Amino acid sequence: MEIIKEFIGALDEEIKAIKEGKGGSIVKIFNGRLLRESSGFFIYVFHLENFLAVLDDSPAEIQIEGESYPVQVLSTQGLEVEIGIEQSLGEFILEARLQTNLWYLLELLKKKYLEIEEGQTKQDFRISEILFGHQPGSSLSTTQSKCRYYLTKKPPNEDQKKAIEASFRSQVCIIWGPPGTGKTKTIAQAIEAHLYSGRRVLLVSHANNAVDEALEDVAEQLGDSQFYKEGKLVRLGKPQEKHLKILEEKYEMVLPEKIVSNLSEALLQEKEKLIREKTLLDKRIDECEQAQNFLQIVENFGNEKSAMEQGLKKTETNIQKKIDEFNALTYEKNKIQMKLHEAQSAGKLKKFFLGLDSEKLQKKVGQVFSAIDLNKGQQDELNKIRKGQIDHIQEKTCQFQQAQKEVENLLNYLNISREKLPVWLAEQKQRRASIEARIGEINEKLDEIQKKILSEAKLVATTLTKTYASKQFPDDPFDVMVLDEASMAPLPQVYWAAARSKTALTIVGDFLQLPPICISNESMAQKWLGRSIFTVLGVDTVPKTSADSRVTLLSTQYRMSPEISYIPNHLFYENRLHNDSSTIQRTFVDDLTSTPLVFVETQSVNPWCSRLEAGSRFNLYNALVCGALARRLLIAGNENVGIITPYAPQARLINKIAKDWELLDHLKVSTVHRFQGGEEEIIIFDTVEGVGNFIAPMVDDTRDSSARLLLNVALTRAKNKIYLVGNSGYLLSGLRQRAALKWVIQHFQERGTILNSESLIDNYFTADFEKYAEENIFSPSAALSQRTGNIYNEKNFWPQFFEDLKTTQGRVIILSPFVTIRRSTKMMDYFKALIARGVKIQILTRPRYQQSPEMSDQTEIVVKQLRDTGVVVMERAKMHQKIAILDNIAWEGSLNILSHRDTQEQMRRYQGQSAVEEIIKNLELENQEAIGNQTEEICPETGCGGFLIIRQAKFGRRKFLGCSNYPNCRYTKPINTPQNHYMRRRTR
């Protein structure tokens, strides 16, 4: 089939992109805590250092202090991850690394399709072909003319009734459920109707969270039915912790282990009894083996002692031989020395007749002295050996005595004689082996029972990945498949899962939500992994849904206050939504404002937005504002607060601030993509954009249509209140006239409350640079307030900055685009004092050629002085950021620290290790090959005189070296390439 070939190609492209590193696979995790033991897994929840793009139920590996353990990623939500481990690693795990094989499940699905393509296995894709528009659909025939389901305290509204009926009677039904319209309740009652008509239902979604939410509603709807009581509604896979608690407390008969427990009570009791017996046996066997080891020491001691004593005796004999040899050598030395003396005093005639040769005697004396020295060394070595042997004998004797005591104690404790110990130990091991064999038999029977439970289930609720990755997934096909949160479901998975149904499909979701995340940019991957099922179905706009008979709209929303719902309803849903009366009676008052729409204005600060090499961006000031606002709301008693942002680096930075401020346990921080499907009472939406970059297409729907979906998701997460954080002056002037975000900002300003960001971050005053530079270098520290997040102006910045400098112990990093002699000279003494006590200082500034003519010469002089002082100076082209990092303190704002004179500026002070490390990472301050860094290498082109700068290709993200005089000089060369392999382009 052509579509399967295309799926295989798309999966190949995505797998290749992930393996090339675009998807990332190793992430640091921390603050892990054990939640529970469930279904043979120990469930832990961790905070993530970075966002993890991984499918639920993916295999992975956790690394803790050099040890690795296989795990399963159960779910991720924002910067939290739940994992299952087959063994307990303690109540708490401070820090670990999680390594995921992001392509494993894609490889597995590809393998399944390859087996189909090659004819190794067969699968009926008829219903999948109908769904994907390759074959026509039809109405369902049913033995019952009426769609039957029971009404609850909150009966379905008219749209929901139509949707239930459509699901019941259509081969392909599309339920369009915008946020908060009660789609999971509708799903529950549609499933009930299918079950009562005798149909078997498969409920799937791309994520565990969505499956769990839908199943809870199904269980609530059918809690009194025989389907529930007989264990016919089954959850395949591990529910998220928060949902597992609810299911265990209210609806435990949807959990396979609970159903097994009810159906296999005798087997489970026997297994529990055997496990207890085995635990006791393990302890006894361990004690017996210890006794055996001690007995071996006792039994071996006699032979070992005899051998050691013989060795000692031999050494002592050798020592005595060396003593005798020493005495003989000493006698010989004295004898020769006497002859030498006689020879030296005798005349020639006497020497001749007595044969006295002074030279020979002198030589002989030297030889004897050498022999004596050698003898002494040998004696010393033998004495060392003797001492070691004596110590060894004493050590072994102590071990023998200790072993004797331990043996007696253990044998008395075990009530066994030495002679019977080996026989008793063998019997216990044999008993343990039989217990293990029996436990294995019981586990096989329990697995068979669980498989039977799944095969006989009338409803199986699971993730899409389980339909092809789980060995427990039932072989028999279902009558109906219900797909929830359909917009995020990868199409190859949907096609596969649909084939597990033989009759009908119900697709539930909202085409105005975000599609699946596709890493590869290749065409086939984008076609089948970057689009939603609604695009394939041809119902991805409001007019198209109106003209399609398969679509039923749920038009009454129950989530958002009317003031909030008005925005997406007007912008995206073409006024098709209606507010339920329950949304009108909402309370919006907190200690900041009393309206549901609040625009947090940062224009007076005009904060800088930094762009990363990968194209994403972050804004430190906005992050501080979000953190301060969230802390204020939490202190006031608001328990359900979420912060969302379009960019992962910004979400990571806010998360680090929340960690430093100990807010993580009470706050959800995530990207808009990863918050899809979630909701909170209060949402803080950070636009991030600011001076330093053009407004990204991600938030401008006039340049990228997906921006509309992102904005819609962001605006529909809040129930009661939205705080929109942004620089209105910058955004309104930079966005095109028809941009949705522009309309949203203006609507917030007209219908909501404007909150100045400076009211969230304090401001106070003191003195100027020169005074504090001179007073602080040699004077003790003054007691200054150091509240994180404060705004400082050009006056009060310097005293606090110098106080921070004085206490710096490890590092100083200053980003100052411009440098002047006047300002830098005043810093030199500080730098010298810091370097003398081991502080590393790094300064980043613009290259000389990017300075103004009057500052160019000053830059050259200052850079030389700094380098002569021991400061590491890096020149980075086109840099704009004004930042200082002093250990774990960050300063950021508009003031050039190494060139400031009399202009009015502002700086923000932030203290916190996690967030500061994130800033260093985002700005690549420790990366020698960061984009824009100027090397010391001069362009070799004749007459050019430029320096080589690290640049990045427009396509392919390849780094290379290019001349600073571009475009006048177009010389380039690859990084780390030998001279004779340079790539050159001649100057114009």
Report how far residue 492's alpha carbon sits from residue 490's, in angstroms, rounded to the nearest whole number: 6
Give backbone dihedrals phi and psi of 756, rounded to 5 degrees, phi first.
Answer: -70, 130
Q: Is the pTM of this model over 0.75?
A: no
- pLDDT tens-digit series, residues 841-854: 999 888 877 776 66
Name the helix (H) or strand (E) containing 463.
Answer: strand 459-463
Instruction: Report the pLDDT averaged over residues 265-288.
Output: 87
Beta bridge partners of 842: 813, 872
Pairing of strands 551-553, 172-176: parallel
> Could you say which of 385, 412, 427 is where a domain stops?
427
Residue 24 predicted with pLDDT over 80: no
Q: What's the confidence (pLDDT) of residue 490?
A: 96
Buried b (16+ CB within 10 A) or exposed e, 844-867: bbbbbbbbeeebeebbeebbebbe
Residue 682 DSSP SS3 = strand
Residue 340 predicted with pLDDT over 70: yes
- pLDDT tens-digit series, residues 761-806: 754 222 234 433 444 443 444 444 454 556 777 667 888 888 888 8
549 and 566 housed in the same domain: no
Q: Is 799 inside a domain boundary?
A: yes
236 and 321 housed in the same domain: no
What stretches of 225-264 show up as alpha helix (H) in DSSP?
A: 226-229, 241-250, 256-263
Report how far residue 429's alpha carbon sits from residue 130's, in angstroms, rounded to the nearest whole number: 60
Instruction: Report the pLDDT averaged over residues 413-417.
Output: 81
- pLDDT tens-digit series, residues 81-132: 899 898 888 888 988 999 887 788 999 999 999 999 988 888 899 999 999 9
Cβ neighbours of 63 (radius 10 Å): 14
Instruction: Report the pLDDT averaged over residues 436-456.
Output: 88
Which structure tokens are listed for 325?
């040899």
Residue 599 predicted with pLDDT over 50: yes
What type of residue sits at position 668?
K
Q: What 8-state DSSP symbol labels residue 664? A: G
Q: Is 7 inside a domain boundary?
A: no
Which structure tokens are listed for 624?
């501080």
Which structure tokens are listed for 882?
């004004």
Q: Is 973 inside a domain boundary?
A: yes
Pairing of strands 578-579, 556-557: parallel
Q: Is 393 inside a domain boundary?
A: yes
Residue 685 DSSP SS3 = strand
pLDDT band at 982, cuts 50/70/90? very low
CB under 8 Å to 440, separation ≥6 — which residues?
A: none
Most confident of 23-32, 689-698, 723-732: 723-732
Q: Is 810 inside a domain boundary?
A: yes
53 and 118 housed in the same domain: no
CB under 8 Å to 974, separation ≥6 — which residues?
A: 960, 961, 981, 982, 983
Q: Which candidate, 156, 138, 148, places its Cα nearest to that of 199?
A: 148
Residue 288 DSSP SS3 = helix
283 vs 153: which has the higher pLDDT: 283
Give backbone dihedrals phi and psi of 163, rounded to 5 degrees, phi first.
Answer: -65, -40
Q: Is 148 inside a domain boundary?
A: no
732 vs 145: which has the higher pLDDT: 732
Q: Is the dihedral of CA 902, 903, 908, 911 positive or negative?
A: negative
Asked if the peptide bond before residue 967 counts as cis, ω within 30 degrees of 0, the response is: yes
Report how far residue 556's alpha carbon sits from residue 654's, in angstroms, rounded to the nearest whole number: 34
- pLDDT tens-digit series, residues 870-883: 888 887 877 788 89
Is residue 915 a contact partner of residue 661, using CB atoms and an 8 Å limit? no
Which structure tokens are listed for 175?
């339920």
Report how far residue 172's alpha carbon sits from residue 534's, in angstroms, rounded to the nearest whole number: 12
How many domains does one find in the chain?
A: 6
919 and 934 housed in the same domain: no
Helix axes 421-456, 358-414, angle to 10 degrees: 60
Q: What CATH number did the domain enclosing 608 receive?
A: 3.40.50.300
Cβ neighbours of 528 (radius 10 Å): 24
Count Cα atoms within 13 angstroms, Cβ side, for 277.
Answer: 16
CB under 8 Å to 588, separation ≥6 — which residues?
A: 561, 594, 595, 596, 720, 721
Residue 370 predicted with pLDDT over 70: yes
935 and 922 housed in the same domain: no
Report how far residue 220's alpha carbon sits from residue 188's, in angstroms, rounded to the nearest whole number: 9
Instruction: Give the strands of the sheet with 597-601, arranged side by side.
Output: 667-671, 641-645, 680-686, 718-726, 597-601, 753-756
62 and 124 housed in the same domain: no
672 and 746 housed in the same domain: yes
Residue 408 predicted with pLDDT over 90: no
373 and 464 housed in the same domain: no
Q: What's the confidence (pLDDT) of residue 630?
A: 94
309 and 217 housed in the same domain: no
What type of residue sits at position 487?
S
280 and 389 housed in the same domain: yes
Report how far residue 714's alpha carbon sits from residue 679's, in angstroms, rounded to the nearest whole number: 10
Q: What distance lies between CA 286 and its chain's CA centroid?
A: 40
For every residue of 631-659, which 3-state class applies, written as one string? HHHHHCCCCCEEEEECCHHHHHHHHHHHH
Residue 753 predicted with pLDDT over 80: yes
Instruction: Report the pLDDT averaged over residues 426-441.
Output: 91
CB under 8 Å to 791, separation ≥6 — which residues?
A: 605, 758, 761, 762, 763, 893, 906, 907, 908
Most confident of 123-132, 390-399, 922-931: 123-132
354 and 315 housed in the same domain: yes
Report how far residue 882's alpha carbon sits from residue 608's, in angstroms, rounded to the nearest whole number: 9
Helix axes 104-117, 491-498, angle to 10 degrees: 50
State the residue range of the domain holding 84.
Answer: 24-101
Is residue 601 a contact partner of residue 756, using CB atoms and an 8 Å limit? yes
Q: What CATH number did the domain enclosing 910 receive?
A: 3.30.870.10
> Could you say which of 495, 525, 554 is where a domain stops?
554
Residue 987 predicted with pLDDT over 60: no
813 and 699 housed in the same domain: no
Instruction: Report the pLDDT averaged over residues 202-209.
Output: 94
Cβ neighbours of 799 (radius 10 Å): 22
Q: What percent of the chain has pLDDT over 90?
A: 38
Q: Is 949 inside a domain boundary?
A: yes
Q: What is the largest CA-CA distance in the chain?
A: 149
Q: Is 11 inside a domain boundary?
A: no
- pLDDT tens-digit series, residues 284-320: 888 888 888 878 877 787 778 888 888 889 998 999 9
